[in-house]
Chain A
Amino acid sequence: MANPSLQIGSGNWAIKADELLGYRVVGNKYFPVPIDVSRATAATRVDEAGLVDYAEILGGEEVTNGDFTDTGSDLIVNGIFDTTIPMNTAGSGWFTSTTALFYNVGGVDGMKVPRTTSNAYGVALKADNSDLLTANTSYKISYEVLENNGSNGVYILAGAGTAVNGAITTGVTHTIYITSGATTYLRFYNQTNNSDYTITNVTCEELGADWAVIDGGGSVTFGDSFAEIIKTSAIPTFIQQDYPVTLGASHKLTYTVTENTLPSTTDELALSSASAYGYSPLDASASATPKTVYLTVTDITPNAALRLFSRGASGSIKITDISVKEVTRDNIARIDYTDGSSPHLLSEPQRENLITYSEPTTDEGAAANITYESFSWNIGFENCVAFGDNSVIRYRYGGSVTDGTEYTLSAYVLMDDNSEPVITNSSVSGDFSLNIGNTVATGTNNANVSMGNNIWRVSKTAVVAQTTTNNGIIKYTTQSSTGFKVVGWQLEAGSYATSYIPTSGSAVTRNKDQFTRDGIGGLINDSEGVLFVEMAALSNDLTYRILSLSDGTDNERIYIQYTDTTNQVSVVVKVGGSTQANIQHTLTDETVFSKMAFKWKANDFAFWIDGVEVGADTSGSVPSGLNRLALDRQLNTNTFYGKVKQLQVYPTALSDSELTILTTP
């Protein structure tokens, strides 16, 4: 079989801003033929892990040393205690009391640090003469113990700061983290009477590399893979890192708070009001789970910087694994994995979620006997509306519908007994009912969509008979006793539910998807070829949804379409605006994926679906000037709304056996 001259999908999905990967294969080489993507809003999909999240492109890492493991260069001179260098000289790097001495243990040079009963504070082994350290700065110090004769520990003092009693196991390299005081020397002591130890391979590296500190009302120390902001007054204390930012650009910030003794866990960590992001309180509760927040650069003066700070008056907070990446969500194609199915391109119409709080924590309309709870969903949400048993009537309403308009209400549901929810139009059966337009009695409860982990997306479509805000979920006392949890509330005008549109305080619109590629005349053979697509409709909604090859006008076209007849697909050829072929077929269910191929050649047209030729036409000419692929008819009309697993354009008319193989499921 000839290679396709153009492909999309077939397991090879790649997206970047404004483009979806189209490609052609020559031999074993791939040549990109990018498809233009347009949708000037964000949009969600189900990702590979089954999470409901935004389709987005992340840029490179903007933060360096976000996990605080990077250190500065080694400050120690002669950390191996080269015995050929005279002690107490600048070249030796060490200045000691008279009893400390260079010492060789089994052929390895080191420094012996003895103590007798007369040494009140032990023997000071001082690295360098002075100015080794910077005051009030954190360091990582390591040393290897060559020998220990009765000492209880390597006692280390950095300037006038707090001393650390380091481990003294022989033959092991030990690491301690220490913050210097007001003075700048580093000393090793021995605090055990009548003992000595010998160390070597001493290093001292500054922590917090790439981070600036503004002490304010406290201080910052850096430790083993963390920064600790210690507060003594309410004046903010910062850790800051500068990097180039673009006004209006959005960023994904992730961070982990490992400890927090500040009085609040919500408002004690923030981004600076003087930074590019504006003041943004961050969740500062301690958890091993990284936190994520999305931020938009609102100001690039005076400082373009990530500037985390604490406003707490007392206590401390430890933070680590800080990451900032630029994120793009507009004009990003969505590859969807709903229901664990193989990935497919998702193309949807413009829709508006009329529920103003899709992940609510409070009422937005009439409600009774429900509770708002924290709950970690396996599909990515972190709260829920909990409906209890049937001991009382329970409901939650919101959004506004207009008399005479068709709406679809949807939500994600987890039943307390992990069963599939049973939704009815009756108050005396099932688990609960969906109310659209202040009634549960009318409308169609659509098939539940499995999200995995016993979570279901339920939905109902109805034409409402009154303008009202009574739209939502209700559980009657005469329905099952099983309680359930709900999140992802969505009410949209239309005959079917589309991908989740998050809202937080207003109705929100997701724009329509558009996919086009012009100027590919060299990849489309006017005189013969095959257009193959594996696709499914979003709904049997009785509209024309067209996927076309054309010359950029309505006159010269080859296209496959879902039509305004139930479950009908057709292929059409237009030459000079006149129909040359129009082969129709009725599917069992157009929302189920089918493999369809349309072969064109003068007086030889055939339509194949799922391994079977469903129609042919032996009369007609072929169009000319085909140079455009689009998931629409032209000029935004009859846009293809559906799912596409793969699309291929062949430059030759394939044989029947080839078409059989190509389209067999």
Chain B
Amino acid sequence: MNIYKLQYTDKATGDADLLAKGAYEVVEGEQVYRNGTQAIVYIGQIVKVPATYDDEGHELTPPIYYDGVYYDLMTSEEIDFGVNEIFPTNCAHSFLGWPQDAEGTDIEPTILTTP
């Protein structure tokens, strides 16, 4: 299985690139995976510096985000995403049963803990 971690300037750009590369198609308004796609996860913005809050939970300072928006793609296909593919660590998102920083081709799942 292959897992790609992708960064785009915005969601429209990301959706268009994944569509163009055949990761999904739209059937009667529904996003449908194709060509080996197991999951597309739109992560959106990722927090770089968390917000701060007062004692009653009111936000004092807003979070600071990394640039752009992010996707995780799980697929049995090998796809060249060029500069949009990134290789982060301590990732904000993972797939259940796979290592948190799993990325690349022909990788295997791991087992974390019992729930």
A381 at the interface (CB under 8 A from B): yes
A327 at the interface (CB under 8 A from B): yes
B83 at the interface (CB under 8 A from A): no
CA A224 – CA B19 in complex, angstroms?
64
A506:B63 contact, CB within 8 angstroms: no
B82 at the interface (CB under 8 A from A): no
A637:B115 contact, CB within 8 angstroms: no
B20 at the interface (CB under 8 A from A): no
Q: Mark B77-88, 1 if CB is under 8 A from A, else 0.
A: 000000000000
Which residues of B have CB within 8 Å of A508? Answer: 93-96
Which residues of B have CB within 8 Å of A635? Answer: 27, 32, 34
Q: A40-B74, A368-B55 are in contact. Are A504 and B108 (CB under 8 A)?
A: no
CA A407 – CA B1 in complex, angstroms?
29
Q: Across the two chains, which residue of chain A brings its CB closest to B30?
A: A637
8 Å CB interface, B26-51 against A? 27-28, 30, 32-34, 38-39, 41, 43-44, 47, 50-51
8 Å CB interface, B79-115 against A? 90-100, 107-115
Q: Across the two chains, which residue of chain A brings its CB closest to B38?
A: A40
Q: Mark A127-158, 1 if CB is under 8 A from B, else 0.
A: 00000000000000000000000000000000
8 Å CB interface, A440-462 against B? none
B50:A247 contact, CB within 8 angstroms: no
A43, A247, A366, A637: residue with the most chain B Cβ atoms closer than 10 Å: A366
B17 at the interface (CB under 8 A from A): no
B1:A395 contact, CB within 8 angstroms: no
B57:A40 contact, CB within 8 angstroms: no
Which residues of A have CB within 8 Å of B32? Answer: 635-637
B53 at the interface (CB under 8 A from A): yes
Which of A70-78, A289-297, A301-309, A614-622 forms part of the interface with chain B?
A: A289-297
- B interface residues, tally (CB under 8 Å): 43
B67 at the interface (CB under 8 A from A): no
Q: A40-B39, A294-B112, A469-B50 are in contact. Are A507 and B100 (CB under 8 A)?
A: no
Q: How many CB-defined contacts (below 8 Å) exist between A and B?
A: 142
Which residues of A have CB within 8 Å of B110? Answer: 250, 294, 296
Q: Across the two chains, which residue of chain A brings its CB closest to B75?
A: A40
Which residues of A have CB within 8 Å of B109? Answer: 41-42, 248, 250, 296, 329-330
A53 at the interface (CB under 8 A from B): yes
Q: Across the two chains, which residue of chain A brings its CB closest to B107?
A: A248
A43:B96 contact, CB within 8 angstroms: yes
B1, B34, B56, B112: the one within 8 Å of A40 (CB):
B1
CA A356 – CA B43 in complex, angstroms?
13
CA A508 – CA B100 in complex, angstroms?
9
A581 at the interface (CB under 8 A from B): no
B51, B56, B98, B115: the one within 8 Å of A380 (CB):
B115
A510 at the interface (CB under 8 A from B): yes
Q: Mark A488-520, 1 if CB is under 8 A from B, else 0.
A: 100000000000111011111111100000000
Q: Mark B4-36, 1 if CB is under 8 A from A, else 0.
A: 000000000000000000000001101011100
Interchain nearest-CB distance for B28 vs A (Å)? 7
A44, A296, A356, A368: residue with the most chain B Cβ atoms closer than 10 Å: A296
Interchain nearest-CB distance for A369 vs B (Å)? 9
B41, B96, B100: the one within 8 Å of A502 (CB):
B96
A638:B30 contact, CB within 8 angstroms: yes
B96:A474 contact, CB within 8 angstroms: no
A226 at the interface (CB under 8 A from B): no
Which residues of B have CB within 8 Å of A500? Answer: 115
B34, B96, B98, B100: residue with the most chain A Cβ atoms closer than 10 Å: B96
B100:A505 contact, CB within 8 angstroms: yes
Which residues of A have CB within 8 Å of B99? Answer: 296
Q: A52-B115, A294-B113, A352-B41 are in contact. Are A395 and B30 (CB under 8 A)?
A: no
A365 at the interface (CB under 8 A from B): yes
A366:B72 contact, CB within 8 angstroms: no
B55:A41 contact, CB within 8 angstroms: no
Q: Across the two chains, which residue of chain B brings its CB closest to A501?
A: B96
A295:B91 contact, CB within 8 angstroms: no
CA A45 – CA B10 in complex, angstroms?
36
Interchain nearest-CB distance for B76 vs A (Å)? 8
Q: A470-B57, A636-B33, A637-B30 are in contact. Are A509 and B112 (CB under 8 A)?
A: no
Q: A501-B96, A502-B115, A508-B93 are in contact. Are A469 and B51 (CB under 8 A)?
A: yes
CA A142 – CA B64 in complex, angstroms?
72
Interchain nearest-CB distance for B53 vs A (Å)? 4
Interchain nearest-CB distance for A152 vs B (Å)? 51
A43, A358, A397, A400: residue with the most chain B Cβ atoms closer than 10 Å: A400
Which residues of A have CB within 8 Å of B115? Answer: 44, 52-54, 358-359, 380-381, 488, 500, 502
CA A637 – CA B24 in complex, angstroms?
12
Which residues of A have CB within 8 Å of B98? Answer: 41
A481 at the interface (CB under 8 A from B): no
Q: A469-B63, A506-B92, A637-B30 are in contact. Are A295 and B111 (CB under 8 A)?
A: yes
A538 at the interface (CB under 8 A from B): no
Which residues of A have CB within 8 Å of B72? Answer: 509
Which residues of B have CB within 8 Å of A44? Answer: 115
Interchain nearest-CB distance for A392 vs B (Å)? 10
Which residues of B have CB within 8 Å of A636? Answer: 32-34
B34, B53, B95: the one within 8 Å of A41 (CB):
B95
B57:A41 contact, CB within 8 angstroms: no
Q: A40-B1, A380-B115 are in contact. Are A474 and B57 (CB under 8 A)?
A: yes
B57:A511 contact, CB within 8 angstroms: no
A294:B55 contact, CB within 8 angstroms: no
Which residues of A have CB within 8 Å of B47? Answer: 400, 469
8 Å CB interface, A636-659 against B? 636-638
CA A366 – CA B44 in complex, angstroms?
21
A119 at the interface (CB under 8 A from B): no
B28, B43, B74: the one within 8 Å of A637 (CB):
B28
Contacts A380-B114, A438-B57 given; 14 further ones with Cβ under 8 A?
A53-B115, A250-B109, A250-B111, A252-B111, A294-B114, A352-B41, A352-B93, A359-B115, A380-B115, A469-B63, A508-B93, A512-B39, A635-B27, A637-B32
Q: Which residues of B contact A (CB under 8 A)?
A: 1, 27-28, 30, 32-34, 38-39, 41, 43-44, 47, 50-51, 53, 55-57, 59, 63, 72, 74, 90-100, 107-115
Some 5 contacts from A to B, beta carbons below 8 A apart, are A41-B38, A294-B113, A352-B93, A506-B92, A508-B95
Minimum-distance CB pairs A-B, first 9: A248-B108, A42-B97, A294-B111, A366-B53, A296-B110, A250-B111, A40-B38, A41-B96, A502-B115
